[in-house]
Amino acid sequence: MAALAPKPARAFDVVLYGASGFVGVQTVVHFARHAPPGLRWALAGRNADKLEAARAAAGARASGAGIVIADAHHAPALQRLAAQARVVLSTAGPFSLHGSALVAACVEQRTHYVDITGETPWVRGLIERHHARAAADGTRIVPLCGFDSVPSDLGCWLLAQALWQAHGEPCVEVKAAFSISGGVNGGTLASMLALADSGQLRLLADPFLLNPPGSVPPDAAAQADDDAPHRDADFDAWLAPFVMAPVNTRVVRRSIALLTAAADPALHAGLRYRESMRVGRGAGAALAAAALGFGSLAATGAMRLAPVRSLARRLMPKPGEGPSERAMDAGRFRCDLVGRTAGGHVLRGRIAGRGDPGNRATTVFVCEAALALAVDGASLPGGPARGGLLTPATAFGAVLARRLRSAGMTVEPLPA
């Protein structure tokens, strides 16, 4: 490949966009505690007073962070913001309403980007508009770097790599079972409602929504999401449909397609990935799994009704609201995984952490992804030439796995 032209000098290594929002404030705290010495970072958004309050609340170690004012719908301001940053981290959702111009500015300015969206139809549009340009420029645009969808995507990749290292056989199947405890913030709910308002819920039914053209495997019908409760011998538990599976599985399948196209020997092109919610053992767990399955279907159907969405907006937390500090500290998540090769070799993995998954864990995931771009660029998979609309696994790989473990999460197996 021809050498990429050098990027101009930037004022900041990382800019935290949406830093005064519910999750945004937590990213400021994380950077204040964990940013390496000498890292130049800034808070960005549309309200200077709120940004300054978020900086002050994060303590003395945030006092040197810059402030950048830019409205999500003012393209010139976003271009100036992107031109000042090597990496932009965005928590300003709903992304389908407020995120497109910022991504476009990052692509134009060749600025790496990460966010916490779970809005896969919006990401599909980003792929169509920006993947080719970002790939040519070596710009990594990496949405879906929160609880949606790092444990699923990185976990599947880690198992496949470990199986290849141990047995020299590609992985053909990975299953994941989630256990979670935590709350939901108003921004996440607003994103779900915005997706329903747009009429794009139907797109979630496509198991290969994010796949590159021509990469859908012949057995596509066999890769549909688990939509019924069932007992799984590998996990020795009853499993129920997982509400985030229609997001996470699409991300994993894009990773599989991108990696097999790049001739990664650890992944079979038809690798089957499924995920569910772990309920437990025994007759009571079977009944609970059935209730969860029915409730998931009912909730999806209800979200299609405008009066239900209107009621949800009145009763649920608003953007900027979320669980208490105590509730977020009490949360936890665990993603257990089982992988197999064609020859029958089996390996187990786990990604787990303490703290509310949609808030505390999401903050760690996205902040460490941004720091990987800012600090570990030379070690990232594919080298400086890799770019495009990437996934957590294809953008960060083992670098993010080691960062998460250093941040206190369980990440197994780590690559050799």
CB 47 within 8 A of CB 20: yes
Same domain, 43 and 175: no
Query: In the prediction, which pLDDT does 226 show?
Result: 79
Dihedrals φ, ψ of 348, to 5°? Answer: -110, 150
| pLDDT tens profile 407-416 | 999 999 976 6
138 and 155, same domain (yes or no): no
Instruction: Decide: 238 and 289 in contact? Cβ < 8 Å.
Output: yes
In a domain, 1, yes or no: no
Is 92 among the domain residues?
yes
Query: Within this chain, do residues 186 and 83 fall inside the same structural domain, yes or no?
Result: no
43 in helix, strand or coil?
strand
The radius of gyration of the chain from alpha carbons, rounded to an integer in Å, stands at 20
Instruction: Quick: pLDDT tens for 28-64.
Output: 999 999 999 999 999 999 999 999 999 999 999 999 9
Highest mean pLDDT among 1-10, 105-114, 235-244 belongs to 105-114
> Would you say residue 396 lies in a domain?
yes
Task: Identify which of 176, 249, 167, 263 has the alpha carbon closest to the alpha carbon of residue 211.
Answer: 249
pLDDT tens digit sequence for 252-290: 999 999 999 999 999 998 899 999 999 989 888 888 877
Tokens 């941004």 -> residue: 370
Q: What is the pTM of this model?
A: 0.92
The structural domain count of the chain equals 2
CB atoms within 10 A of CB 195: 22
Q: Using CA atoms, how far apart are residues 393 and 372, in angstroms rounded to an integer?
A: 12
Q: For residue 108, what pLDDT is reported? A: 98
Distance of CA 155 to the CA centre of its chain: 12
In a domain, 3, yes or no: no
pLDDT > 60? residue 145: yes
Q: Do 247 and 325 sit in the same domain of this protein?
A: yes
pLDDT of residue 292: 75
- The residue out of 334, 355, 376 marking a domain boundary is 355
Specify the range with the lowest mean pLDDT, choosing from 10-24, 92-106, 273-287, 308-322.
308-322
Q: Is the pLDDT of residue 228 over 90?
A: no
Task: Note whether 162 and 93 are same-domain residues.
Answer: no
DSSP-derived pairing of the beta strands 346-354 and 410-412:
antiparallel
Give the residue, 184 or 384, on which the prediction is more confident.
384
Query: Between 362-375 and 22-34, two packed helices, what is the crossing angle to 10 degrees?
Result: 50
pLDDT of residue 223: 80
| Residue 352 reports pLDDT greater than 80 | yes
Q: Residue 305 — very low, low, confident or very high, per pLDDT cuts 50/70/90?
A: low
Cα–Cα dist 371/400, whole Å: 9
DSSP 9: P
Residues 125 and 212 in one domain: no
Domain shared by 346 and 243, yes or no: yes
- 59-68, 315-324, 379-388 — which is least confidently predicted? 315-324
What average pLDDT does the segment 117-124 reach?
Answer: 95
Pairing of strands 171-181, 267-280: parallel
* 407 in any annotated domain: yes
User: In this prediction, what percent of the chain has a pLDDT beyond 70?
Assistant: 87
Task: Look up residue 5 and give its DSSP letter.
Answer: P
Three-state SS for 117? Answer: coil
The parent domain of residue 72 ranges over 12-146+359-412
Last residue of some domain: 318, 337, 355?
Answer: 355
pLDDT at 324: 84
| 255 occurs within a structural domain | yes
Residue 2 forms part of a structural domain: no
CATH number, residue 53: 3.40.50.720
Strand order through the sheet with 346-354:
230-232, 237-240, 267-280, 171-181, 332-341, 346-354, 410-412
**Burial readout 224-246 (b: 16 or more C-beta within 10 A, e: otherwise):** ebbeebeebeebebbbbbbbbbb
Question: Which residues neighbour 10 within 8 Å (Cβ) at sequence distance 6 or greater?
Answer: 83, 84, 85, 86, 111
Strands 41-45 and 12-17: parallel
pLDDT at 315: 62
DSSP E strands in 166-219: the ranges are 171-181
Residues 6 or more apart in contact with residue 386 via CB below 8 angstroms: 138, 140, 380, 394, 395
Higher pLDDT, 144 or 5: 144
> What is residue 70's three-state secondary structure?
coil
Residue 104 in domain = yes
Phi, psi at 167, each rounded to 5°: -130, -10
Alpha helices in 262-281 (DSSP H): none
Residue 1, pLDDT > 60, answer no
Predicted local distance difference test score (pLDDT) of residue 204: 78
Query: Is the pLDDT at 3 greater than 50, yes or no?
Result: no
Pair 160, 291 in one domain: yes
250 with 287, same domain? Answer: yes
Asked whether residue 186 falls in the same domain as residue 297, the answer is yes
Q: Tell me the average pLDDT across 345-365.
A: 95
Residue-level pLDDT at 313: 65
363 and 347, same domain (yes or no): no
- Please determine, for residue 300, whether its predicted confidence score (pLDDT) is greater than 90: no
At 220 the pLDDT is 77
pLDDT of residue 2: 40
Question: What pLDDT score does 386 carry?
Answer: 96
Q: Which residue has the higher pLDDT, 299 or 34?
A: 34
Residue range 149-170: average pLDDT? 97
Domain boundary among 308, 339, 355: 355
Q: Indicate whether 141 and 187 sit together in one domain.
A: no
